[in-house]
């Protein structure tokens, strides 16, 4: 996905044209945040779990090489074919060649943000392979020809009436039918036929265990299992940061993941895949795609701890009021805004600025990523690398000039207040973006500095 000519601010402007819809989007995601709070507050050991998860991931990132090699050898011992991809392109080629070798041109795929990041669907479709996304939300956005707007809730931006219209058009449900139970049943029937007839299935990976060579896929719909169990070929795609050292560590992460994501105690299905069943081939593709670069950036490396729960999106007051598509990248929201500039600093130069730096993301994060501090640091990097708007750079230099010299500051302050008082229309107009929805502050008789000079006795 590309932003084309519009950045986050402009895309948010479009999103905010329909205020009632913004309210609905905000309330929907706030409801998920509230469910998360309830689930977290039911565990007195919550903060200890977060700290433990954070430390386990620190260990993984510091010893990533060793754990990857260990995982590879254990997985191979289990009969899984292990592939390595240094970037998205390589990943897509590997998937394609496995499918070609298996003579398969129609596949099912469960949710995998990595394949979104690598634009796998486009690549495969371009090469004549049909991909059916089997996660209900993902299937909905696929039918709408849109990318997911949220990593856990891919179609959270769509109302049930819009889904009814899509299903009417693509699945033949009655016109105007928007009952969620009815629509889900229709999707189930539609997908069941795909599960039964497709010979290859792609799944994502939530956790891979170095100690055992197994991997865990978490879903609520069982669609990963339906796909993988019925297919002759199972391809699992994972980023190299998805490792945990030992199986026992899953007891920490599985407790945090669903609670943070949706407020459930655990996902409905937490399926362990360890070896292919008889007659099946199982592949795992380990993908770097910028992760080792990020690992080499001291200020940003711990963004790789992310377990893709989406809690930072649900809590983000900006995300809730701008929608996932305004981030024009596979992973939206606060975490996406610290991951994306690593992949393409120019394309995503706007994202670290799409935040008030309020810090709610950092406090909600189950693995304690200091997201808002990294947003601040990315801003410094982006400006230094020359991706800031030149007009903004000039304004900042003018501000620096004024604020670093007390005499200039006093004169400018006085002049500014004088203008605001005597020729308010010089400020209260369309060129002043503040004034669109907000009045300017009232002008006081004098500044505090002036008052102090007149009224407080000095020694």
Partner 1 sequence: MTVGLFIPCYIDQFYPNAATATLSLLKKLGVDVVYPTKQTCCGQPMANSGFEHLTQGCNNLFIENFAEFDYIVSPSGSCVLHLKDHLHAESSENEAQAIGIRKKIYELTEFLTDVLKVENLTASFPHKVGMHQSCHGQRGLMLAQMTELVAPAYSKPMHLLNMVQGLEIITLNRPDECCGFGGTFCVAEEAVSAKMGKDRVADHVHNGAEYITAADMSCLMHMEGILRRQKSNVKVIHIAEILNAQEF
Q: Which of residues 84-103 bind partner 1 (CB under 8 A)?
A: none
Select from 180-188, 222-230, 290-298, 435-443 the region that touches partner 1 (CB under 8 A). Answer: 435-443
Residue 256 binds partner 1 (CB under 8 A): no
CB of 337 to partner 1, least distance (A): 12
- Shortest distance in whole angstroms from residue 264 CB to partner 1: 17
Asked whether position 419 contacts partner 1 by CB under 8 A, the answer is no
297 binds partner 1 (CB under 8 A): no
To partner 1, the closest distance from the beta carbon of 376 in angstroms equals 7
Residue 440 DSSP label = P
Residue 391 binding partner 1, by CB under 8 A: no
Give the integer Cα–Cα distance in Å for 48 and 51: 5
Do 28 and 156 contact (CB within 8 A), yes or no? yes
> Is residue 264 close enough to count as binding partner 1 by CB under 8 A?
no
Q: Does 440 sit near partner 1 (CB under 8 A)? A: yes
Least CB distance to partner 1 at residue 357 (A):
6
Number of residues that bind partner 1 (CB under 8 A): 74
446 binds partner 1 (CB under 8 A): yes
Structure tokens at 125: 């479709």
Beta strands in 90-169 (DSSP E): 106-109, 130-133
Shorter beta-carbon distance to partner 1: residue 40 or 136: 40
Residue 19 binds partner 1 (CB under 8 A):
yes
- Give, for 29, the enclosing helix (H) or strand (E): helix 19-41
**Cα torsion through 8, 5, 88, 315, rounded to 10:** 10
Partners of residue 284 on adjacent β-strands: 82, 236
Residue 416 lies near partner 1 (rule: CB under 8 A)? yes
Q: Check residue 318 for interaction with partner 1 (CB under 8 A).
A: yes
Do 96 and 235 meet the contact criterion of CB atoms below 8 Å apart?
no
What are the beta bridge partners of residue 238? 286
- Quick one: how far is CA 416 from the chain centroid? 42
13, 18, 189, 246: residue in contact with partner 1 (rule CB under 8 A): 13
Smallest distance, partner 1 to C-beta of residue 389, A: 9
Q: In this complex, which beta carbon is closest to partner 1, that of residue 128 or of residue 425?
A: 425
Contacts of 124 (CB under 8 A, 6+ apart): 92, 95, 96, 99, 107, 130, 131
Given candidates 92, 315, 337, 342, which one binds partner 1 under the rule CB under 8 A?
315
Is 448 a binder of partner 1 (CB under 8 A)? yes
Hey, which residues between 394 and 413 contact partner 1 (CB under 8 A)?
396-397, 399-400, 403-406, 409, 413
Stretch near partner 1 under the rule CB under 8 A, chosen from 88-96, 147-155, 335-343, 437-445 = 437-445
Q: What is the largest CA-CA distance in the chain?
A: 93
With CB under 8 A as the contact rule, the residue among 12, 112, 289, 337 that binds partner 1 is 12
d(C-alpha 332, C-alpha 132), whole Å: 23
Of the two residues 69 and 440, which places its CB atom closer to partner 1 in the complex? 440
Burial class (CB in 10 A: 0-12, 13-18, 19+), 117: buried
Contact stretch for partner 1 (CB under 8 A) within 84-92, 143-151, 335-343, 386-394: 386-394
Strand order in the sheet with 130-133: 81-85, 281-287, 233-239, 200-203, 106-109, 130-133
Among 46, 84, 182, 269, binds partner 1 (CB under 8 A): 46
For position 43 contacting partner 1 by CB under 8 A, the verdict is: yes
* Span interacting with partner 1, options 44-52, 146-154, 220-228, 264-272, rule CB under 8 A: 44-52
- Six-digit token string for 357: 């730096």
Q: Chain centroid to CA 78: how far? A: 32
Kindly give, in sequence order, each residue whose CB lies less than 8 Å from that of residue 276, ignoring residues fewer than 6 positions away.
79, 80, 234, 282
Q: Is 454 in the site for partner 1 (CB under 8 A)?
A: no
For residue 292, with 0-12 CB atoms within 10 Å meaning exposed, 13-18 middle and 19 or more buried, which class applies?
Answer: middle
Contact 229, 198 (CB under 8 A): no
Instruction: Check residue 423 for interaction with partner 1 (CB under 8 A).
Output: no
CB nearer partner 1, residue 32 or residue 201: 32
Site for partner 1 in 47-66 (CB under 8 A): 47
Distance between CA atoms of residues 428 and 440, nearest Å = 7
Instruction: Please list every residue from 344 through 383 that binds partner 1, using CB under 8 A.
Output: 352-360, 362-364, 376, 379-380, 382-383
Tokens of residue 279, six digits: 């007659």
The region of 192-200, 202-210, 278-286, 389-397 touching partner 1 under the rule CB under 8 A is 389-397
Asked if residue 9 binds partner 1 (CB under 8 A), the reply is yes
Per the CB < 8 A criterion, the answer to whether 25 and 324 are in contact is no
């Amino acid at each position: 996905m590309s932003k084309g000519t519009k950045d986050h601010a402009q895309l948010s402007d479009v999103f905010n044209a329909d205020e009632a819809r913004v309210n609905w989007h905000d309330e929907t995601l706030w409801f998920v945040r509230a469910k998360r709070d309830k689930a977290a507050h039911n565990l007195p050991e919550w903060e200890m779990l977060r700290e433990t998860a954070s430390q386990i991931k620190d260990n993984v990132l510091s010893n990533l090489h060793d754990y990857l090699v260990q995982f590879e050898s254990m997985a191979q011992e289990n009969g899984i074919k292990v592939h390595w991809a240094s970037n998205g392109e390589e990943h897509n080629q590997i998937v394609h060649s496995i499918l070609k070798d298996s003579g398969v041109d129609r596949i099912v795929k469960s949710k995998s943000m990595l394949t979104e990041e690598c634009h796998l669907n486009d690549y495969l479709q371009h090469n004549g392979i049909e991909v059916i996304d089997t996660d209900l939300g993902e299937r909905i956005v696929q039918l709408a020809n849109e990318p997911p707007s949220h990593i856990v809730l891919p179609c959270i931006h769509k109302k049930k009436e819009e889904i009814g219209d899509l299903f009417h058009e693509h699945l033949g449900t009655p016109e105007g039918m928007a009952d969620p139970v009815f629509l889900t049943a229709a999707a189930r029937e539609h997908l069941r036929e795909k599960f039964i007839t497709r010979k290859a299935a792609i799944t994502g990976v939530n956790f891979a265990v170095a100690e055992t060579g197994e991997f865990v896929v978490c879903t609520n719909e069982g669609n990963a299992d339906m796909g993988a169990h019925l297919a002759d070929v199972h391809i699992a795609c994972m980023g190299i940061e998805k490792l945990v050292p030992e199986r026992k560590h899953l007891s920490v992460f599985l407790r945090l993941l669903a609670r943070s994501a949706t407020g459930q105690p655990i996902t409905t299905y937490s399926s362990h895949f360890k070896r292919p069943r008889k007659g099946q081939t199982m592949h795992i593709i380990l993908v770097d795609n910028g992760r080792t670069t990020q690992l080499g950036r001291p200020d940003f490396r711990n963004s790789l701890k992310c377990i893709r729960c989406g809690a930072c999106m649900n809590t983000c007051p900006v995300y809730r009021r701008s929608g996932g598509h305004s981030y024009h990248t596979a992973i939206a929201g606060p975490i996406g805004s610290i991951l994306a500039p690593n992949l393409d600093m120019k394309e995503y130069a706007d994202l670290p600025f799409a935040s008030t730096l309020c810090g709610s993301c950092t406090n909600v994060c189950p693995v304690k990523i200091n997201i808002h501090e990294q947003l601040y640091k990315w801003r410094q990097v982006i400006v230094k690398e020359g991706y800031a708007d030149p007009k903004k750079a000039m304004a900042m230099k003018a501000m620096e000039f004024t604020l670093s010299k007390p005499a200039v500051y006093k004169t400018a302050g006085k002049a500014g207040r004088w203008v605001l008082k005597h020729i308010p229309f010089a400020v209260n107009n369309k060129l002043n973006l503040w004034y669109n929805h907000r009045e300017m502050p009232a002008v006081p008789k004098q500044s505090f500095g002036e008052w102090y000079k007149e009224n407080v006795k000095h020694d």
